[in-house]
Chain A
């Protein structure tokens, strides 16, 4: 979360900042912006395919403008990040179109268990994010969104479900499958890299 590096005893929470911002506090907005600006940019970049990267700036701007116009409707009993990413994802859906919805439906297999979350996979994604971020491109849109929200934003499955407008079980399933997929891709990349090094040595 954005407050990770801050001393939580002195720094206001995202929710407190959002409430102040809703009442017109410029400083609260600036702090919130500092916390979420780069994260939103990266979130959008990872979520969009290479053909859609030109939309990143536009969706970024629209998300903030929508946050601004909807600021008075923010409910402080919910987490700010959930509300924020719901707006971002809705904007993304509006811009990119129905391909997103289709991909979410295709990714959710009702016959699969939703309790397959593998803690080892989670650790891999979390700790080596900078190493695996290039592999995110190989995930489907919905997997990528779920994974970014889970391991980057550290949202709970309930919150991911709320943002993505799917059931809690489906959210868990998506995250679990995305982590496994990343692990597989990561292992493959390691094997390929190892083979190349061996070849060079010879």
Chain B
């Protein structure tokens, strides 16, 4: 009864194409893949690095130079995972290399964008004095001082980066269980590490790093909680 050929559904087509694509990618020369990784890393680094340098060129001390190095390394790693030959199919609960890479890259870029939008959160001043959230930071400093400001900064950074990251891999996180939450948190924690480094390395920020980490955990918990509610 089942030998009769039936028309293929969309899902069948997607699976077929994804695995055929993976087999084709495996046959590609390694040099071609390395070129793709390098080109993408240079393109993304230029895209986010240029506005960063324009805005904060006066404050690029050794800490920020190392942080920039981390970000370039992150892009390199992210693209290496992304371009690894694999079936590019997003399925709920499966975190293949390209899914992890996408969340990682998106969260990292979101974090950099957040610093660009609100540099006062990491004690930077933009050359353009453009800081839409400065009234909020001033208010937080008035109410709870540096501790509250750092806690809120961690919360907001993590929440926005996680929310954007989760949206970018929404099909893979249709239902967020405990195991998925742990994987997502690890990706997010890794993407936030350069900002954590900035705080640990800066003498002014070091005493408040605990508040920032506390904020990050809560921000992530809120993003994942909202995702769980939606699903």
Contacts and interface: CB of A to CB of B under 8 A. Distances in A.
A24 B26 contact: yes
Contacts of B24: 26
B2 interface: yes
A45 B18 CA distance: 22
A22 B94 CA distance: 21
Contacts of A37: 8, 12, 15-16
Instruction: Say whether chain A's binding surface is mostly helix, strand, loop, or mixed.
Output: helix
B89 A4 contact: no
B1 A130 contact: yes
Contacts of B31: none
B176 interface: no
A60 B15 contact: yes
Given A30-B16, A68-B19, A24 B6 contact: no
A137 interface: no
Interface string A132-169: 01000000000000000000100000000000000000
Contact of A152 (B2, B11, B12, B19): B2
Interface in B67-101: 87, 89, 91-94, 96
Nearest to A34: B5
A26 B15 contact: no
A112 B195 CA distance: 67
A29 B91 contact: no
A64 B15 contact: yes
Contact of B19 (A57, A64, A130): A64
A33 B19 contact: yes
Please list the 8 inter-chain residue pairs (A to B) with the smallest Cβ-Cβ separation, ordered nearest first.
A129-B1, A61-B91, A26-B23, A5-B3, A38-B6, A64-B15, A57-B11, A4-B3
Given A38-B6, A61-B91, A152-B1, 20 more contacts: A2-B3, A24-B26, A25-B23, A26-B23, A26-B24, A30-B16, A34-B5, A37-B8, A37-B15, A37-B16, A38-B12, A41-B9, A57-B11, A61-B89, A62-B93, A64-B87, A65-B19, A68-B19, A129-B1, A133-B1
